[in-house]
Each structure stands twice: as structure tokens, then as C-alpha cells.
Amino acid sequence: MSEPLETWIDAAIGETREALVRQGRPIALRIARASDEGARARWGEIYCARVREVDQRRRGAFLELGLSAQQGFLPLGHDGRARRGGKERIALREGQGVIIAIVREAARGKNPVVELQEIGHDGEPPHKIGHHASDDDMVLAKPADAQMRGKLDALIEDALARIAPIPGGGVLSIEPTAALTAIDVDAGARPGSSDPERFALDLNIAAAEEAARQIRLRNLGGVIAIDFVNMRAKSHNKALEEAVRKAFAGDPWAVQFGGLSHFGVFELARAQLRTPLHEQMRDGEGRLSAETLALMALRAIEREARASSGRQIACTVSPEVKAWFDAGEIAWREALSNRIGMRWSLDASPGPRDKIDARAL
């Protein structure tokens, strides 16, 4: 029998965040942002789309989805046709109307990948017509209390960190790149043992379990290389390979396993269904994006308002973050006033771009 899962969820202004938790440890994380609506596709959504271009050189068709920031990519077979259902092959033409499902969100600068479901919808403008049932709880979510919001804040901060602790001691260094994700295992201050080989095996097995959890939490996919502490015993190497496969056994995304190399590196490939967390939360320079900081500022204002009933709340942010607010990508003013009333002000102040100062007057 599978272990019961607890759900942490918070519909904050501008984004809904959900974590799945098993035995007190988060194992999965999803974030849906209001700014994505009408701009970016989410996994499992259904669209009435239009074929914009059939590109035989790239073996794919580009589709208009009615989104401002993205178009869909439909892979084609060697015969230049799209697959529908089992073995049926469909020849597409430019301008044709089709029904598609999002099977992979945008990642690493690539368009979302789609799957053909129906044809014969010519004349309909591109638009979203449905979402996956797994997103129902995100749509219906309510604002969480301060304790739950704080737990989610801390979880996301940890899931964005380069370093993750290994239970029992040691650390993982997690480095996503354009080509692959590299994970290094280091013993750190883990208590020693009189048997170095046994110490290395215990560390590596614990690291494999934590790496699998971190990969799922961070929505990492593609090629992943885990650099374990080197071991000499063949039996220990085999035990580690089995531990890696066991650690990923419950992963909802497809995982293909390589083997443990002579240098102690284990390679695997994980399907990339959702956008990686760091791409959602950070900008192209690896910093927290202006939107991420702005949404953090809104939560800080709410937090101060809850703690200081009836008092005016003043918040200052960097000019870059204030510019995001002024652009009006989402209806944040109305949402904030509905939650705490018209007792807030928001201004820009020179200083570090990630500084947020929310205080009661």
C-alpha cells in the first residue's frame, strides 16, 4: 500500500503553489502563475490550434495556440506526417485547424511540445479549451494561513538553492545547464566510519535517494549525471546502481537509466514534462526574476497587514521590481485591495534589486 500524501497549497496573489508531502518531506512542487494565462502553456492543457508552418527539415509543425509568448511544436515522423492515436498518420497543411494536448511544457528555450488529438476544426481561432484534471485543485485553491505560506516559502527557497543537504550528513551540489544537469556528491561533515568502503556506499545510497527527491522537486529533466563518491568493490557499485533505480521507482515521469561509469558517474534521462523550477523563478542571468520578487513583495505586504490590523502598510522595492508592478501584467492592485483593503502603498527605492521592505506605519 502506498504511503498517504499530504498537500500544501496556497493561492497567493499572482501565483498558486502546491507541494506534495510524504512523511513530512516534500516530494513534488508545482507553481501556476497568473501571468502565464494567455501567454504560456501548461502540461495537460487542451487547445484548438492552427498549423502555422510545416517544417520538414526540423521534422515538426509549428502551431498557433492563441498564446502571446509561445507557439506549439508538433513532432512529425520520418514520412512527414503527424501521429494521431495508435498508428494513424495524418498529413498536415498550413492553416489547418486541429485539437492538441500539451505533453511537454517549454524548457531550455524550446517551445512546448504538443500531441495531435483531432483534425477538422478549420475556421476556429486558436484558444485553450481545457486543462488537465490534476490542475483542478490549483484552480480551486484558497489563500493559506501564515504558517502554511511560510512553509511553502522556505521549501521554494531550498529548492532553488545550489546546495542540498543529504540526510545523515553530506551535501549535493546541483547545477542545471543547457546540456544536462550535473549533481555532485560530497561527504561534507558526515560522521566517519572505520570502513571507508562502507562509508562511501552508505553516503552514496543516501545521496541517490535525496537526488531523486530534489530532481522531482525542481522539475528537472533531460540528461542528469550524478557524480558519486568512488568505490572499489564491484558489489558496492552494483548495490548503488540498484539503489538509484529504487530511488526513482515512484517517479511519475519516465526515467531511463544508464550505468555507473568507471569514474563513479551515473547517467540517467528523465522526461521533461513541466518547466524546471529555476526557469520559472529566475531570469536569464540566474537571478530571481523581477516577477518573482514582486510576488514575494505582495506576500510580505499581506503578512504585515495580518500582523498589524488596521495600520497602513508601506513597501519599498527596487526600481526594476517596481517597473514590473507598473507594467500591470496581472491585476495585483485589485487583488491586494480586496484582501487587506486600501491601506497600502508601494514605492521604489535605490538599492539591492532583491531587497523588499514591507512595514506597518
Tell me phi and psi for residue 64, to 5 degrees. Answer: -80, 130
d(CA 131, CA 16): 15
Q: What is the sign, positive or negative, of the torsion defined by CA atoms of 266, 267, 271, 276?
A: positive
Give dist(CA 63, CA 113) in Å, integer: 10
Q: How far apart are CA 86 and CA 241, in angstroms?
A: 34
Cell 500500500 belongs to 1
Residue 31 cell numbers, joined: 507553481
The answer to whether the beta carbons of residues 54 and 82 sit under 8 Å apart is: no
Task: State residue 287's pLDDT score.
Answer: 96
Query: Which residue type, as a one-letter code, is found at position 297?
Result: A
Burial 328-348 (b: 16+ CB within 10 A, else e): eebebeeebeebbeebbebee
CA angle 169, 174, 177 (to 5 degrees): 170
Q: Taking Cα atoms as reference points, which of 175, 174, 173, 203 lies closest to residue 189?
A: 203
Name the pTM for this structure.
Answer: 0.92
Whether the CA torsion 122, 127, 130, 132 is positive or negative: it is positive
Alpha-carbon gap, residue 319 to 358, rounded angstroms: 15
Asked whether 99 and 124 are in contact (CB, 8 A), the reply is no
The residues that bridge with 181 in the sheet, in sequence order, are 176, 224
pLDDT attached to residue 63? 97
Rounded-to-integer distance, Cα 108 and Cα 111, Å: 9
Residue 224 and residue 183 in contact, taking contact as beta carbons nearer than 8 Å? yes
Buried b (16+ CB within 10 A) or exposed e, 162-195: eebebeeebbbebebeeeebbbbbbbeebeeeee
Question: Given this model, what pLDDT does residue 1 score?
Answer: 44
Find the angle CA(60)-CA(269)-CA(245) to the nearest 5 degrees: 145
Report the SS3 class of residue 33. strand
Q: Are 190 and 169 in contact (CB under 8 A)?
A: yes
Q: Which amino acid is at 58?
A: R
CA angle 344, 340, 346 (to 5 degrees): 20
Q: Check if the beta carbon of residue 79 is closer than 8 Å to that of residue 28.
A: no
Query: Block means of pLDDT (10 residues each) for the chain, length 361 residues?
Result: 83 97 94 95 96 93 96 94 86 95 93 94 92 87 95 97 96 94 94 88 97 97 96 94 96 94 94 95 95 98 93 97 96 96 95 95 93
Scored b (16 or more CB within 10 A) or e, 1-18 reads eeeeeeebbbbbbbbbbb
Q: What angle do CA 193, 199, 203 make, to 5 degrees?
A: 130
Q: What is the pLDDT of residue 123?
A: 87
Class of residue 272 by CB neighbours under 10 A (exposed 0-12, middle 13-18, buried 19+): buried
Q: Is 123 helix (H, G, I), strand (E, B) or coil?
A: coil
